[in-house]
Amino acid sequence: MSLSLLSVSTSVTADNSLSAVISDISITYRPASNFGQTGPDLETLNYCVTWTTTDEAMAFQYEITDALGQRPPYGNAYQGGNTWPAGQTNKWCADTTLEFGKTYTIRVNGTSGPRGSYGTWAGSGPGALLTSYSYSTGASPVTTTVPAATTTVAPASTTIPKSTKTTIPSSSGEKSGLTPRTSIAPVEDDGLDDEDYADIGVSNKGGKFDLRISSTFPDADMTLRATKRGSKSISWNVTTNSDGNYRIITTRSLKGFTLTLWIDGDKWDSLLIR
């Protein structure tokens, strides 16, 4: 695997006052079973993006795509928003699970300007490219299956002299020496689609935290938990909409908390809020 910086640049905005930095890059691994797949663990890219401006307002976004412009199929590859306070620094941290054998690029865009004319300078698109980062996943590990050794044992032969008589006792209703069969109760399980996912996205806007759940599970019951050492844990029991999404706005200070998303007792995603 390789990790390389493609470019770092400051965008051209109303006052040349908007910049962005990608930081805290690391790689972890997530079980393929989290996404309804079999095989080796998948590489997960962890990162933070920070936008800074001295303008009255800014609009910003990031997106992760491969060389063909396709986002990875496991979600959490795009976030966007806006903020108003002058001198604002906005930092988002996330993780995105990637496919093997591809090169992915994080592209960070943004634009800024006066709050009164926001609709004019922010309505034309995501803004200039501020910075980008490239990461190439390795090839999928080759799994070799070695067939189990088999041993054939020839049946023993017994010769019975002609003078030998074999007496079979009459049946008494009991069968000795036989192992009774055990009835196995079936389990109803439809399995998971290969592209099922459930991911968490977080942004901080004006002192409020915007928590978003994106998934392929419509009308599904989920639990979102926030935990931090030395603090009481916080839980939200939610039901996704028909598109599999849910959004929470909270004024609780969640800095330093770790969010985890649970479905039917299984953890699908986790995210540290920095």
Return per-residue pLDDT of the chain as tens, 274 residues.
444 444 343 333 444 588 899 999 999 888 888 877 787 788 899 999 898 888 888 888 899 999 998 999 887 888 887 876 656 788 889 889 998 889 999 999 988 888 888 878 777 677 889 999 999 988 877 554 445 555 565 565 555 555 555 454 544 444 445 455 567 778 777 666 667 889 999 998 878 999 999 999 999 999 999 999 989 999 999 999 999 999 999 988 898 999 999 999 899 999 999 8
Q: Which of 260, 236, 232 is nearest to 250 (CA)?
A: 236
Q: What is the pLDDT of residue 182?
A: 63
Q: What is the pLDDT of residue 149?
A: 56
Q: What is the pLDDT of residue 56?
A: 83
Sheet-wide strand order for 208-215? 198-205, 208-215, 245-250
Tokens of 239: 């039901």
At the top level of CATH, which class does the domain 1-140 belong to?
mainly beta
Distance of CA 195 to the CA centre of its chain: 11
Q: What is the pLDDT of residue 186?
A: 80
Q: What is the pLDDT of residue 199?
A: 93
Q: Which of 129, 142, 72 is nearest to 103 (CA)?
A: 72
Q: What is the pLDDT of residue 127?
A: 82
- Residue where the block lists tokens 């992760």: 64
Q: What is the pLDDT of residue 133?
A: 94
Domain(s) of CATH 2.60.40.10: residues in the chain: 196-274
Query: CATH topology for 196-274?
Result: Immunoglobulin-like (2.60.40)
Give the strand pairing for 57-65 and 103-113.
Answer: antiparallel
Name 13's Cβ contacts closer than 8 Å, sequence gap at least 6.
53, 55, 58, 110, 111, 112, 113, 121, 127, 128
Name 102's Cβ contacts closer than 8 Å, sequence gap at least 6.
66, 67, 136, 137
